[in-house]
Amino acid sequence: MITIFSRTIIVYLILIFTMRMLGKRQLGELEVSELITTILLSEIASMPITNHDIPLSYAIIPLILITTFEISLSFILSRSSKLKNIFSSPPSTLIRKGKIIQSELKKNRISPEELISELRQKNICDPSQVEYAILEQNGLLSVIPKIQYQQPNLEQLSILQEESGILHIIISQGTWNEYNLSLLKKEKSDLRRILKKKHVKENDVYLMTIDDTNKMNIIIKEENR
Amino acid sequence: MRSFIISICLFAMLITGIILNCYYVNSVHGEMSAIIREIKIEPCDENEDLIKELLNLWESKSSMLSISVGYKELNEISDAIASLNAANLYGDKLQICIALEYLTSAIDEITRLEKLNINNVM
């Protein structure tokens, strides 16, 4: 047990160090510690399933240990930006005010072609149109276009539109969603009355939704149409 | 914060479990070694009782040990006890010596794995 315990700590720390060295390019949406946890957990969990010579504890100890590390690390890092920069690379500004910062590209081992390709995926064909392009800690590129290349929003166009919020599912395939009912403070009896007025049985409802403006939408099951 | 506290509790439980397991393995090792030391190289009836006692002890402790010790190591100990028993029954002095050596090293192996040293970790 103690051997497995110490081995897990060593492998975890080595992986953190390795992934930190590899930089943000390898990450893609996950942070360093999250990626390592994901890699290790999947490997360790499959170990005793496929190998019958290994006791279950050989997998349980590393699983608990890695989970503990991940939770503790994220808790500590959320309270210290200095430590966060040690465990995962800080964000890098690749383009500032339309100008590519070559030293940052070099530091992050990103070629100009890769940068242009990333910008194209965000519908930008010229780096000079970009106010800021930032390589985030999870390896994703955030692009903020210059104001003249940004799409105008409803406020800028002076168009008034009522906020409809999100759709809350009330009935899904004939089953009431109790959580959303209590969230919207709706009574089943009131909704049943509405369904009755519309000559719809609740078991025939495929989907019933209500948005934040109380707009109701009912879709009937195909077999009952 | 709640998950952090749970993870810290889990960690503490894990450490406690490892320490208790260490003590358990060492105590089993101690009990078995004490019986092995009493076994004589010459085949005799006294040996038969000691081997029976060793076998009973092993049967009662092996299932608990299987939580932390690999099945390979456990099988080696079972095989060594069986060899010792056979050697004593057939009155083979050389085979008793070999079986005792084999059993001692097999029992030492389970405690070796519980020690924190460079050999084990690397």
Beta-sheet strands, E only, within chain A: 92-96, 99-100, 130-135, 141-145, 168-172, 175-176, 205-210, 216-220
ipTM of the complex: 0.72
Return the sign of the alpha-carbon dihedral for residues A145, A146, A149, A150: positive
- Mean pLDDT score, B85-92: 83
Note which residues in 50-109 of chain B have CB less than 8 A from chain A: 66-72
| pLDDT value at A113 more than 80 | yes
Predicted pLDDT of residue A28: 59
| pLDDT value at A145 more than 80 | yes
Predicted pLDDT of residue A160: 82
pLDDT in tens, A9-24: 777 776 676 666 555 5
| pLDDT value at A219 more than 60 | yes
Predicted pLDDT of residue A32: 72
Are A10 and B120 inside 8 Å of each other by CB? no
Are A53 and B70 inside 8 Å of each other by CB? yes
Q: Which of A47, A52, A68 to mutate to test the interface with B (most CBs of B within 10 A)?
A: A68
For A58, which residue in chain B has the nearest alpha carbon?
B68
Amino acid in position A33: S
The whole model's pTM is what? 0.61
**Percent of chain A residues topping a pLDDT of 70:** 90
Distance from CA of B72 to the nearest CA of A (A): 7
Question: pLDDT class for A225, splitting at 50, 70, 90?
Answer: low
CA end-to-end span of chain A? 63
